[in-house]
Amino acid sequence: MTVVLDTNALIQIFGHASTLAPIQDALLQGRLHLAVSTPVLLEYEEVTVRYAGTQRWHDVWAFLTLISRLHGSIHRIGPRYRFHTITGDPDDDAFADCAIVSGADYLITSDHHFDALIGSGYKPQPITPEEFIRRHLGRP
């Protein structure tokens, strides 16, 4: 199953006490494929550095590199078309574009701007991290 993680979801999957750690575990085990694009990676970096510092970004990058090397489960996407599906926050369009072009099953996010994808006709549907865990990772 291929997913796109919004930045808020990515940051929250780390830490043993995190309720979203099952997503990190599934990525580490190769049970999930993560689609990213250059704009998505730049947003990950910008937000992570802003809120948690450069060292935290290096840790996130090391994690992404690790799962890519272990399982080949990071898919770099180069969208050539902007779908303009997210009107509430134009920065979020990069995530929607990546999800659409990659054919992702889900865009995992707590951001309601992505509700614009619901009923839009595009395959990736937004889902909260908690609901994704309940539905697909067999955790309460």
Q: What is the pLDDT of residues 36-76, one digit of tens each?
A: 999 999 999 999 999 999 999 999 999 999 999 999 999 99
Residues 122, 101: Cα–Cα separation, whole Å: 10
Q: Which domains does the chain have, with CATH numbers?
A: 2-136 (3.40.50.1010)
Q: What is the pLDDT of residues 92-129, one digit of tens each?
A: 999 999 999 999 999 999 998 888 788 888 888 899 99
Vertex 11: Cα angle to 9 and 15 (nearest 5):
110
pTM of the entire structure? 0.91
